[in-house]
Amino acid sequence: MPPTHLHTLTKQWGYHAVKGYELNNNTWGLKHATSGGQRTHYDGPGPEGRGIAWSSDWEWQGGEHQVKSYVYGARQFDRPLLQDIASMPVDVAWRYDTDHIRANVAFDFFTDPDKKHANSSGEYEVMIWLACYGGVWPISEAKRPIARVNIAGYDWDLHFGYNHGGKMKVFSFIPAGPNIHHFEADMKEFFDYLVFHQGFPDRDQHLLIYQFGTEVFTGGPAFFEVPKFIAEVNTCG
């Protein structure tokens, strides 16, 4: 049974904030579509009143290799330095009602030395994909993984590349196995790996945004449901 929607966003940058979380109907690549649209819904608090439940329905045609949207839920926090974060626990569950799409399901983080930098980009972007549909591919300078690592009990292929005209360094962790529909972990472990093995400068990088959603290319009609998104940013001391 589909959830009961308490609030629906229909505009391109439609925004809704509730109890330390926010939703964005982020159709930033709308101009690449020949037709289609998207709506995002706040469906209430998560289990036992923790976190949020939300969903989105969409359909896009045209520009097969261009992203149309990254609809997301995000945790609000006070943008600490990465070195001052003790843990970033998350508990998320999601589902799609179709496989006939080109899309991913992913966490997306931006970091920057400037604490007041816009949360739509940064010096670094770190993505952790939980799913991939239709052969979509991460930003990858080498066109292949630069490492395979085990974090949070799963094997990941790590890709690296550049975005925003080479100004933003992008790390993408892609599951080496099947899609992960329920994920409970400490996301700080991914950053710890990058610090110790890939030279990530946690001493001068502020965490700008902690978001989870689906990056959409084409397909649908599709319904994406997140019955549980619970996330925290816990600082040292």
Q: At 6, give phi and psi (nearest 5°).
A: -90, -25
DSSP, res 143: S
First to last CA, the chain: 44
Q: Say what the alpha-carbon torsion angle 42, 105, 173, 152 is, to the nearest 10 degrees.
A: 60
Nearest residue to 58 (alpha-carbon basis) of 9, 17, 23: 9
Burial class of residue 50 in the structure, from the number of CB atoms within 10 Å of its CB (0-12 exposed, 13-18 middle, 19+ buried): middle
Catalytic residues: 125, 215
Q: Do the beta carbons of residue 56 and residue 144 sit within 8 Å?
A: no
In order, the DSSP letters of 85-121 are: EEE-EEEEEEEES-S-EEEEEEEEEEEES-TTS-TT-
Q: Do the beta carbons of residue 171 and residue 192 sit within 8 Å?
A: no
DSSP, res 176: S
Taking the mean position of all CA atoms in its chain, how far away is CA 153? 19
- CA–CA gap between residue 232 and residue 210 (Å, rounded): 9
Report which secondary-structure segment, H or E, holds 55.
Answer: strand 52-61
